[in-house]
Chains A and B, each alone.
Chain A
Amino acid sequence: MSTMAPSRKKLRVVAADFLNSLPLTVEIAEDDHFDFEYVLPSEGARRMMEQEAEIALLPVAALAEIGGLEVVPGPCIGANGRVESVVIVSESPLDRLERLYVDQASRTSVILAKVFLDSIGKGHIPFVRLSGAEIPPHVKGTDAGLIIADIAFKESKRFKYRHDLADAWKRLTGEPFVFAVWAAQPGVLTPELVERINRRFWDGLARKHGIIEEWAAQHEMPKAEVADYLDERIQYHLNKAAWYGMQEFFRLAGNMRLLPDARVEFAGRDAAGGGALPSSFGLFMPEVVPYSKTYGIDRILARAEAGRRISLYDAERLYDEADLIELGEVAHNIRNRMNPGSRVSYIIARNINYTNVCNVDCNFCGFYRSNDPKRKGHDEGYVLTREQIRQKMNELADAGGVQVLLQGGVNPDLPLEYFTSLFRWMKSEWPQIQLNNLSADEVLGLCPNKSADEIEHVLRSLREAGLDTLAGAGAEILVDRVRKRVSYKKSRSAIWLEVMRQVGKIGMKASVTMLYGMGETTRDKFAHMAKIRLLQDEVNPFMVFITWPYQKGDDQKLKSFDQAGATYLRIQAISRIFFDNIQHIMCSWVTQGPDIGQTALYYGADDYGSVMFEENVVSASGTTYRMNADSMEHNIREAGFIPFRRKGDFSDWNQEEHELLKSKGIIAELTPGMI
């Protein structure tokens, strides 16, 4: 579990430099005791999630998502009524709204909007994510916008209808709304530190009028408006009412499965709930029963089974402490709820590794050959010819295959036109075979600038050429300190996620993976999952999650860890529990072998993956399992499930449809023994 002892000389503290946060941060920023940095709220959340900061001024949604953090008593950023900086604007009354554009930068506000709309019977209206500045032009007719911060100040007044969300919250619950609090990694805060943060906070409040003058001048805003905001709108004290407001928000958002069940601990208490408390400021210190007592493993599992969302910290605790069978049972029950009917799918698909030339140099990869003539193995680099691809596709078609996974290295010599022409040709020759091609890094290899617009353009071009779904390979662990170590040149996590964000935005689907066992921490594993879950909430790109451990082959430099099949089952089960928003979990019999693969059907998997014709990436590490359709069906049945063959989009493979294609000569007779 991640308890962070303060081993560094200076504590790393991060906060956003928003107007409302300045009274809390100006003094801390100048305090030598801290290594302070202003960052975007999402970056602050990332640093806390990945334990790259000890203390952060954290939006409360992130507090719940991460879990297990301690809240500093005393200061907060809240509002006891109208706040003016978080507003739903529209040209139609609330009851006529049909769509809400939301600012993707503020998850807390988006969830608050959802809770509010739900309370007035409008919880069903779709949310569309845009950047803040894009929202006002979209607000027309029955389309509303959730605008925040500067944009809210500047733009909200020009709309006919304005609904201040803090005010709405106050009317809904009778309590203040808390947007952000100082949060710390467990074990970091001491009573002295809490007192220090509070002193800085009070000193910061004393500088409020300086802050107002400076901000008004810099942002060309009326001073009175800025003063009204800081003096009248923002509540800086985490008093009893604010505390209850925060708990109520967690409760309602938890009920709606928008946030994990959140428990907040206050700093300065020992394990028994007592301990020395900072006294100088007469802080409100509600009775908080220690986390471990209120939420034992059983309770986390029971609540997850009942459909509640679990936090990153809960997932870590399950990994460290849960019994394997209990974990499996809950994962299996959740799987049965999400994919009922005791059915287990599999697919007849094949990999085609069209090129092994790659300039990314991952330490864990035994497959690629460098395009650098000076590098060993350069002469073993290949790009398959159309004829070679034709032969493999014909084998797949003859076997009744419905999906191909075209996957290779990031070959700098292959331009976008190579892929669009290849995909068009494949689609015209084998229309019945879905193209589930390319990793995020192969897509990025076609985007020299790596901008969101460029990624979107490339994806649209590939889709237009016939790409059905994007393969999810290459996610590895979406924590940059791990990525830098195992694959320095590979995309950083934010850009990998951006590719998938664009996939979701243009309405495509992808798979998503996790390659563990590369020496990453438990926290890294679940930070990876947390990032995926957030993106899935945002744009819903993922159909299926698959995980497997890195397995070191003779040629690889990187050591492997976490190799036990029992660990694989544990992680897969937690993934099923954690991903309440991803429909399918596929087991990885290719890396684990058919036996652990079969057992994994009791640990949350509802998909047994694909028959294996050929696979060169995993097998480059020495893993060489093969199964045909008979073996797969036998294993599924033997475990007590009903096997069914699926298509790439997880719909049932249809025998009649297949026969029709056959009668039209589009696909050939099955070759016995082929699959």
Chain B
Amino acid sequence: MADTTTKLTTRVRALLERGERIHAADCRDLFEVRDITKLAKLARVPHERRFGRRAYYRDAYVAEYRGEDPEMFLSEIETVAPADAAELLLRCRWRGGEALSVWKERLALFGSGRLRGVAAIAPGFIVRLAAFEGIRPAQALEELAAAMPLLITAEEAELFDDQFRADRAPGVISVDEWIGVHRAAHALGMKTVAGMTYSTVDHSSEYAAHLDAIRALQDETGGFAAFVPMALHNRGVADFYLAAPTAAQTLRAVAVARIFLDNIHHIAIAPSHVTTEVAVVALSYGANLVDTGIAVDDVHAEEHSGEPIGALPILDESITVSYIAPPMATVRDRLAEARWTPVGLGALFQEHVSTIAA
């Protein structure tokens, strides 16, 4: 295996140094490499080329809208948002039975606030709202986007593998629906976030196929501003330590994503999935954006509430701070302490759209 790994990493390094593309089969094999340092050294090639020692963090204030009175909600949020927040990132969920018109009104209100607001909306929101209204997802998307800037998130990307979706994430939208929403958003000129779930069990082939599909879509539309690997927090597993992936799995997923996705600018990592400390360490493995706007799925978090503290402290953090990202100041401090140059990045990645195009 050692020899095979050396051959693989040598070949991949040569490709990366020449700025060439990695084949999907190599991507699968990279997921099999146990030594995360080898992956980090490969990921560094494209990472350094793009970012040097700069590390980005989201300087938007992130809040979760849970269906409360919109005016009250907005005024509360504007009161508590820290002074150094550049933007407001409102996470919105469609809770069933809510009409498009209701959401348009809400978003228009949120969009008129003191802080520049962006609504983070999952593809599933669009698909379910469109089904409820009997319209095409692209239409729902367009109408909502007219009310307020939208960021279409990576949620429910899971793995683009039917068996995995049926077994581990029943009830999520289909792969075609997920891709359809992102493609429509890109057609409207929006930047969106791609993602992939990685779990406690290795699915090297499925991961590679998933990344390949993401890369192909990006080739077609160029609309993904970032890619985020998302740790799957399992529900009700008998062995508590198998509830979420370990740091080695996280760092492996980050590194392979950076190596393989040559056409997506940012590789993000979510402290709410992996802890702030692992997120900062992941910057040395190919991530460049500590994304505090991504939360652990609330259903999963609720399932774990009240559990004793176990092998994976993230579970505990995700319960108590599931949507409260680490304060911006903490993230900035950690980045600086880890010898990165912290750069704030707006919710919509505005300042980088031109860089990405370039």
Mask: chain B, 247-282; 1 = CB below 8 Å from A; 0 = not: 111110000000000000000000000110110110
**Interchain CB contact under 8 A, A593 and B338:** no
**Interchain CB contact under 8 A, A635 and B284:** no
**Interchain CB contact under 8 A, A631 and B311:** yes
Mask: chain A, 301-332; 1 = CB below 8 Å from B; 0 = not: 00000000000000000000001110011001
Q: How far apart are A457's CB and chain B's nearest CB, in angstroms?
A: 43
**Interchain CB contact under 8 A, A640 and B277:** no
**Interchain CB contact under 8 A, A566 and B37:** no
A567 and B338 in contact, given A602-B37, A631-B241, A639-B36 (Cβ under 8 angstroms): yes
Q: Which of A23-31, A105-113, A538-546, A619-627 contacts B (4 or more CB under 8 A)?
A: A619-627
What is the bound-complex CA distance between A594 and B244, given in angstroms?
Answer: 12
Residue of B37, B241, B251 touching A627 (CB-CB under 8 A):
B241
B189 proximity list for chain A (CB < 8 A)? none
B310 touches A (CB below 8 Å)? yes
A91 touches B (CB below 8 Å)? no
A638 and B280 in contact, given A325-B44, A625-B313 (Cβ under 8 angstroms): no
**Interchain CB contact under 8 A, A602 and B36:** yes
**Interchain CB contact under 8 A, A638 and B281:** no
B334 nearest in chain A by CB position: A564
Residue of B34, B281, B308, B310 touching A569 (CB-CB under 8 A):
B281
**Interchain CB contact under 8 A, B281 and A566:** yes
**Interchain CB contact under 8 A, A593 and B41:** no
Residue of B44, B242, B277 touching A596 (CB-CB under 8 A):
B277
A325 and B40 in contact, given A565-B278, A599-B278, A640-B248 (Cβ under 8 angstroms): yes
**Interchain CB contact under 8 A, A639 and B248:** yes
B246 touches A (CB below 8 Å)? yes
**Interchain CB contact under 8 A, B251 and A599:** yes
A593 proximity list for chain B (CB < 8 A)? 275, 277, 313
A562 touches B (CB below 8 Å)? yes
What is the bound-complex CA distance between A628 and B246, given in angstroms?
Answer: 15
A554 proximity list for chain B (CB < 8 A)? none
What is the bound-complex CA distance between A592 and B280, given in angstroms?
Answer: 14
A566 and B337 in contact, given A635-B246, A638-B248 (Cβ under 8 angstroms): yes
**Interchain CB contact under 8 A, A596 and B278:** yes
A96 touches B (CB below 8 Å)? no
**Interchain CB contact under 8 A, B314 and A595:** yes
Per DSSP, chain B at the interface is helix
What is the bound-complex CA distance between A201 and B36, given in angstroms?
Answer: 57
**Interchain CB contact under 8 A, A594 and B311:** yes
B310 proximity list for chain A (CB < 8 A)? 626, 631
A232 proximity list for chain B (CB < 8 A)? none
A630 touches B (CB below 8 Å)? yes
A566 proximity list for chain B (CB < 8 A)? 277, 280-281, 284, 334, 337-338
**Interchain CB contact under 8 A, B40 and A595:** no
A337 touches B (CB below 8 Å)? no
**Interchain CB contact under 8 A, B246 and A639:** yes
B239 touches A (CB below 8 Å)? yes
B92 touches A (CB below 8 Å)? no
What is the bound-complex CA distance between A542 and B311, given in angstroms?
Answer: 29
What is the bound-complex CA distance between A329 and B41, given in angstroms?
Answer: 10
A437 touches B (CB below 8 Å)? no
What is the bound-complex CA distance between A626 and B307, given in angstroms?
Answer: 13
What is the bound-complex CA distance between A99 and B139, given in angstroms?
Answer: 90
A85 proximity list for chain B (CB < 8 A)? none
Mask: chain A, 232-243; 1 = CB below 8 Å from B; 0 = not: 000000000000
A630 and B277 in contact, given A325-B44, A325-B284 (Cβ under 8 angstroms): no
B138 proximity list for chain A (CB < 8 A)? none
Residue of A332, A598, A624, A625 touching B246 (CB-CB under 8 A):
A598
A299 touches B (CB below 8 Å)? no
What is the bound-complex CA distance between A626 and B44, given in angstroms?
Answer: 33
Q: Which 9 A-B pairs have the closest CB atoms?
A: A640-B34, A565-B277, A595-B247, A631-B241, A566-B338, A631-B311, A639-B248, A564-B337, A324-B284
What is the bound-complex CA distance between A630 and B242, given in angstroms?
Answer: 10
B86 touches A (CB below 8 Å)? no
A638 proximity list for chain B (CB < 8 A)? 246, 248-249
Q: Which residues of A606-640 have CB atoms within 8 Å of chain B's CB atoms?
A: 624-628, 630-631, 634-635, 638-640
B337 nearest in chain A by CB position: A564
What is the bound-complex CA distance between A566 and B285, given in angstroms?
Answer: 12
A598 and B248 in contact, given A564-B277, A565-B281, A592-B277 (Cβ under 8 angstroms): yes
Q: Which residues of A522-579 have CB atoms within 8 Å of chain B's CB atoms?
A: 562-567, 569
What is the bound-complex CA distance between A599 and B280, given in angstroms?
Answer: 12
B248 proximity list for chain A (CB < 8 A)? 598-599, 635, 638-640
B246 proximity list for chain A (CB < 8 A)? 594-595, 598, 634-635, 638-639
What is the bound-complex CA distance between A329 and B278, given in angstroms?
Answer: 18
A562 and B278 in contact, given A602-B37, A638-B249 (Cβ under 8 angstroms): no
B335 nearest in chain A by CB position: A564
Most buried by B among A592, A595, A638: A595
A595 and B277 in contact, given A332-B37, A624-B309, A631-B241 (Cβ under 8 angstroms): yes
Q: Which residues of B275-320 have CB atoms within 8 Å of chain A's CB atoms?
A: 275, 277-278, 280-281, 284-285, 308-314
**Interchain CB contact under 8 A, A627 and B311:** yes
